A and B are shown apart, each in its own frame.
Chain A
Amino acid sequence: MRRSLFLMLFGLLASFAAAPSRAHGPTPQKALEKITIAKPPAEVWAAVGAFSKIDKWHPGVEKSSGGDNAPGSERTITLKSGGDLVEGLDEYNAQEMSFGYRLSKENIEAFPVSFYTATIAVRPAEGGSEVEWSGRFYRADTSNFPPDNLNDQAAVAAVEGFFKQGLEGLKAKLEGAK
């Protein structure tokens, strides 16, 4: 009796020790969202290309603050759903109208992803512009037995949802502007 209690306790402790490995894991996931906007690329880029001003057009972002558009800059975004994410700018190409950034500080309670890199680009398209947002990311719990809220599907849903909501918000804002 005492022995089985001991074993149970031991098992519990062992499961704690093994539990959520939050390092960047071995199997990345991808997300890709695109939208066409009936405005010239320069106008779209003027909005999208301001790294720390994502709160001006993303409906899911309560506020954002941070540095300029130089690689190495960091921005902190506060999600409307609660919680902060810190992101770092890696690449900025004004001529090609694209930039790449990464998650610098994870917050899996707010956003169930342990690490991501993403690129956003504006291109000329028929009738205006096309904006493409792509990301590579890892689930929040990178162990081999993640719970449902921290698994690959949860991560994909979160990133796709964030990109889609952002692009729709951007389109609505720019096309609505006179």
Chain B
Amino acid sequence: MTRMRSLLIAIGGWLLCLGAAADVALASPKERLFVVNQEDATITVIDAAAQEATATIPVAAAPASIAAAQETGELFVTHPEAGQVSVVDSAKLAVWRTFKIGGAPFGIAVDPAGRLLVTDWNEHCVRVLDGRSGEILGRIEVGKSPAHIVAGADRAYVANRESDSVSVVDLATLEVSETVAVGRAPFAIGLSPDEAHVLVGNVRSSDMSVIDTRDLKAVATVKTGSLPYGVALQPSGERVTVSNQQSGTLSILARDGWRLMHTARVGSYPEGVAVSRDGRHAFVANWFSDDVSVVDLESGRETQRINVGKGPRMVLLLPQL
């Protein structure tokens, strides 16, 4: 009986592998957008190709940021008010465990080793968690009120909102190797796919700092709209999108020369932004108007508005496993 069952599991696993391989060969799998709604404590799931909401996942109170483990399809959602991280199964669309880590966890990233890097707004540190057990592996002191964080192959970059700087964390030693001065009140942070540039949205100076990762210096400051709160790049790295909360717009910039290509009018108080894998669309969470704007990056126009839960802040795109 037991032997029979393990044989079945083995065959099932093999079929799954075949299925995954076929998917890659035939067509790219569907992409889904996960929208974190802080006010009504839900995640709205959107079919990115159809541009429509397909599910709602209830989570604990006041969720803020989201990151994914690409391999397992697990989603990690921070709750700064409750000192916890919810773990969401993106296949079952449900929370299946909670990591109670204390403090005020805000920004989150998953590193290549599957560890969670979680900023703490009030304790001015990054906690390092085992992505499977939730065990706290370490604590890294960074600047004041660290907001968002992004992880590359060997380093993570943290935007320190109250220190006007970016902390560079060496992922091998889990130590800050460098601190780079940027504009005023850096909040959102993005890493180009080639890892050559780190892009930081500075809320108070209404501009974007460009950090060259070779010498870890800010090499350009690009004017954005008012109160830039979200940064996302095309997977090709050619275009950078910045959501401007006070202006209610999305700036679309060319990485070549940092030229402003378009300014798209979106919803009210936009924040989180993500770009589809084909590079055609940006999805922007509009915190005040409780919806997501879809912006065509070629024409620079909003083409769709999708209703979501209340107070959407961050968004994440993930291919369906």
Contacts and interface: CB of A to CB of B under 8 A. Distances in A.
Interface of A: 21, 23-28, 30, 32, 71, 90-91, 100, 102, 117, 119, 134, 136, 142-144
A142 B144 CA distance: 14
B122 A117 contact: no
B175 interface: no
A124 to B, nearest CB: 19
B226 A91 contact: yes
B122 A142 contact: yes
B81 A100 contact: no
A26 B288 contact: no
Contacts of A32: 288
Given A102-B246, A134-B268, A143-B122, A23 B145 contact: yes
Given A26-B106, A100-B246, A136-B269, A90 B226 contact: yes
B144 A23 contact: yes
A145 to B, nearest CB: 10
A32 B268 CA distance: 12
B265 to A, nearest CB: 11
B288 A136 contact: yes
B140 interface: no
B81 A27 contact: yes
A23 B81 contact: no
Contacts of B268: 134
A117 B227 contact: yes
B131 interface: no
A71 B144 CA distance: 28
Contacts of B288: 30, 32, 134, 136
A66 B81 CA distance: 37
Of all A-B residue pairs in the complex, the 10 with the closest CB atoms, nearest first, are A26-B80, A90-B226, A100-B246, A26-B121, A26-B106, A23-B145, A90-B246, A23-B162, A21-B122, A91-B226
Interface of B: 38-39, 62, 64, 80-81, 83, 104, 106, 121-122, 144-145, 161-162, 185, 206, 226-227, 245-247, 268-269, 287-288, 311
A136 B38 CA distance: 13
A169 to B, nearest CB: 24
Contacts of B83: 144
B104 A144 contact: yes
Given A24-B185, A26-B64, A26-B121, 20 more contacts: A21-B122, A24-B161, A25-B121, A26-B80, A27-B80, A27-B81, A28-B287, A30-B39, A71-B226, A90-B246, A91-B226, A100-B247, A102-B246, A117-B227, A117-B245, A134-B269, A136-B245, A142-B122, A143-B122, A144-B122
B276 to A, nearest CB: 27
Given A23-B161, A100-B226, A144-B104, A91 B246 contact: yes
B247 A144 contact: no
Nearest to B162: A23
A27 B246 contact: no
B64 A117 contact: no
A113 B1 CA distance: 65
A41 to B, nearest CB: 19
Contact of A136 (B104, B247, B287): B287
Contacts of A21: 122
A19 to B, nearest CB: 11
A94 to B, nearest CB: 15
28 contacts: A23-B145, A23-B161, A24-B145, A24-B161, A24-B162, A24-B185, A26-B121, A27-B38, A27-B64, A28-B38, A30-B269, A32-B288, A71-B226, A90-B206, A90-B226, A90-B227, A91-B226, A91-B246, A100-B226, A100-B246, A102-B227, A102-B246, A117-B227, A117-B246, A136-B245, A136-B269, A144-B83, A144-B122
Contacts of B162: 23-24
Nearest to A21: B122
